[in-house]
Amino acid sequence: MASDSRLRHSSSFGAAATAYAEHRPDYAQAAVRWALHTAPGPRVLDLGAGTGKLTATVTAVCADVTAVEPDPAMLAELRRALPGIRALPGSAEAIPLPDASVDAVLAGNAMHWFDMAVAGPEIARVLAPGGVLAGLWNVLDDRVDWVAGLAEVSGSAAVGPRDTPAAWRVETARMHLPKTDAPARFGSPEQAEFPHGQRRTADSLVATLATRAGMLVMPEAERAAALGRIRAFLASRPETAHGEFTLPMLTCVLRVRRR
């Protein structure tokens, strides 16, 4: 994705901060534990924390958590939902923390927005020696038949290249590396997947997909048409047509260690 397009997509969430907080899923605790397993200590930074979906899960696993988020509307939602958490304005490219002040940096559905040529040195700066950087993504488990159908009908704006397991592995394998000749700040990547799920109705699943960046930047007529196709598909499937159901997902993790 070109840098101007990436900026447009990454800055689209603030206008939908309330919907994001209501509809986006949390993260599997097992995935967070694996992400932190090799960290040298308990101090965790949730970077690009959004409305605090990952922050809340990390807090359940580890008490010493700081959240950093660039969008004021998203940060306000995080502070409202998690008033006891230290939550600061900032970005992956300008982290408002001292050198070697955290043992792990986690990013929930955010690492793909980072400019790693700039963010890599910043993340390495705030990490203690041997510290861990981990990106976590919630992806749809398209090994389930109806979920594969949903991914197909939704289109790439709603279900993108990192939103299904096989594509996620390819897309994120080098996510920790700068896209320039700048030196890599992290060692060899490890990837892992953990079962997860979210209770949804057809309406709330449509609302969830409507918070995806590709949907948020769509012209309104195209967005309405895409959401209409998704609604029609969900109404046609016995798994999703009536009442609540569990959306099968995986929390997928890319973990690297600071050099």
The tens-digit pLDDT sequence of the chain (259 residues) is 545 544 443 444 445 688 888 989 999 999 999 999 999 999 999 999 999 999 999 999 988 999 999 999 999 999 999 999 999 999 999 999 999 999 999 999 999 999 999 999 999 999 999 999 999 999 999 999 999 999 999 999 999 989 999 999 999 999 999 989 888 899 999 999 999 999 999 999 999 999 988 899 899 999 999 999 999 999 999 999 999 999 999 999 999 999 9
Tokens of 132: 């861990």
How many other CB atoms are there within 10 angstroms of residue 81's CB atom?
15
Residue 91 has phi, psi (to 5 degrees) of -140, 170
Q: Token pair 């970077």 is at which residue? A: 47
Packing angle, helices 53-61 and 29-36, rounded to 10? 70
Q: Report pTM.
A: 0.90
Question: ∠ CA(124), CA(186), CA(101), 5° rounding?
Answer: 25
Task: Name, in order, each residue with C-beta under 8 angstroms of 39's C-beta and a sequence gap of 6 or more.
Answer: 103, 104, 131, 132
**Total residues found in the chain within this entry:** 259
